């Protein structure tokens, strides 16, 4: 996995530990979110149709269309996400494929634990 991918995964793990109350934040990172981002250039660089791009990265095809047609501007969070996709699409796919299994597992555990308490 690339350095960016490893950094993303470490950050996600730290965020989870913080959310659970097991970790205090120790440092702040400044980030640079581009004001403009060329969604179609990112998608074309990956040689993907709008359908495939949307499916691979958890987006709605209609949203991708609207961004590309300048009918809507991606939010700050979406521009940050698109920047990561442009820089390391494999890391994003890997993180998403791992996280969906673990997120479902944690949610199921929380529901079971909550029911046992009531």
Dist. CA 44–CA 49, nearest whole Å:
8
* Phi, psi values for residue 23, rounded to 5°: -145, 140
Q: What is the pLDDT of residue 118?
A: 46
* pLDDT tens string 36-84: 999 999 999 999 999 999 999 999 999 999 999 999 999 999 999 999 9
Dist. CA 32–CA 41, nearest whole Å:
19
Dist. CA 111–CA 9, nearest whole Å:
25
Domains of the chain: 3-96 (1.10.260.40)
* pLDDT tens string 7-39: 878 887 887 787 788 777 667 777 888 999 999
Select from 1, 91, 75 the least CA-distant residue to 39: 75
The whole-model pTM stands at 0.62
């Amino acid at each position: 996995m690339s350095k960016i991918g490893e950094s993303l995964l470490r950050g996600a793990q730290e965020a989870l530990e913080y959310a659970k109350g097991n970790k205090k934040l120790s440092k702040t990172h400044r980030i640079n979110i581009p004001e403009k981002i060329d969604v179609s250039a990112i998608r074309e660089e990956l040689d993907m149709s709008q359908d495939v791009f949307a499916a691979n990265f958890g987006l709605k095809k209609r949203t991708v269309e609207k961004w590309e047609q300048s009918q809507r501007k991606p939010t700050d969070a979406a521009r940050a996400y698109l920047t990561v996709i442009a820089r390391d699409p494999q890391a994003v796919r890997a993180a998403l494929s791992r996280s969906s299994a673990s997120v479902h597992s944690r949610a199921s555990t929380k529901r079971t634990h909550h029911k046992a308490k009531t």
